[in-house]
Amino acid sequence: MRSLAISVSILLTSLLGQQATSPPKPAPDPGAFELGETQGTGRTKQGPRPVGGPAPHFADGRPDFGGNGAWYPGFGGNIAEAQWKGAKSADKQVDVPFLPAALELFNQRVTSQSKDDPEAQCLPVGVPRYMFDPYAFEIVQTPKQVMFLFEGDNYLWRTVPLRANMEHPKDVKPTWMGDAVGRYDKDTLVVDVVGFNGKAWLDQAGHPQTAQSHLTERYTRTDSLTLKYEVTIDDPGAYSKPWTTSNTVYWRPGFQLMEFICQENEKDSAHMLNHQ
């Protein structure tokens, strides 16, 4: 299934862009979920998607984003659309407030069929793209930080320190993933991110990100099987005003992350259209 997800991702790139107090209810075999259905009907091969139980919490009241399994975003190659090409039944269609130069760059990436996509060159995809790409991930929580462990997307981990004042260190060094700090707001993890190097794409469609980008992410486990993700993008280097998009991520019980090394025996990028 994961090999198919990776193949779908590369193909679409070439065509364009400690213990929970409330245990989750059992669900059908995790392999039953269809690729991309997190953006579609919510059905599985075995019928309607199972209904989750109460969202688990730690004894101190914090939301628990972990368990025996992993989260799976499915595939949403364009974060401004509910599906890659959009859909009449879409639950969202974002009017992206492009600045002229950013719109020109976005269109260039589309017409060149994403030949310069960093992911296709085994480079990190950055934030928020990893929440819309077809790779599983786990969330590990301690009292002082939250860690994201990724199966794919050319980056193995992300660390979010927890600070009540949400202050970033001074003189942040620009990186692909940016500098993140977080805090809990009742059942939601709020993450503030700055310090980007401006090299990542926001999604496979090619929405630009600049070094001026400031993201506000919100993670809410609405039930034992569902994670709601929302991100507000404030990037005056590319967009005239902040804009918000979201995704629904599903829990796959018993799912274990596999080793994924993009650079190892990599043969796909040479076959991408317009690759030079």
Question: Which tens digits make up the pLDDT trace of 142-164?
Answer: 999 999 999 986 777 999 999 99
Q: Whole-prediction pTM value?
A: 0.78
| CA pseudo-torsion sign 85, 90, 91, 95 | positive
Does residue 182 register a pLDDT over 70?
Answer: yes
Output the average pLDDT for the chain: 81
Is pLDDT larger for residue 208 or for residue 19?
A: 208
Helices within the chain (DSSP H only): 2-15, 100-111
**Dihedral, 147, 188, 219, 94 alpha carbons, nearest 10:** -150
pLDDT at position 263 is 66
Residue type, 80: A
Residue pair 119/13 in contact by the 8 Å Cβ criterion: yes
pLDDT at position 156 is 79
pLDDT at position 122 is 85
pLDDT at position 145 is 98
Sequence-distant (6+) residues with CB within 8 A of 180 are: 127, 158, 159, 160, 161, 191, 192, 193
pLDDT at position 57 is 98
Please state, in angstroms and as integers, the Cα–Cα distance from residue 10 to each residue in 164, 204, 207, 263, 273, following that order. 40, 10, 17, 14, 11
| CA 109 – CA 126 distance, rounded (Å) | 17
Residue pair 126/200 in contact by the 8 Å Cβ criterion: yes
Sequence-distant (6+) residues with CB within 8 A of 216 are: 190, 191, 192, 193, 231, 232, 234
pLDDT in tens, 95-121: 999 999 999 999 999 999 888 999 888
**Which residues on adjacent β-strands are paired with residue 184?**
189
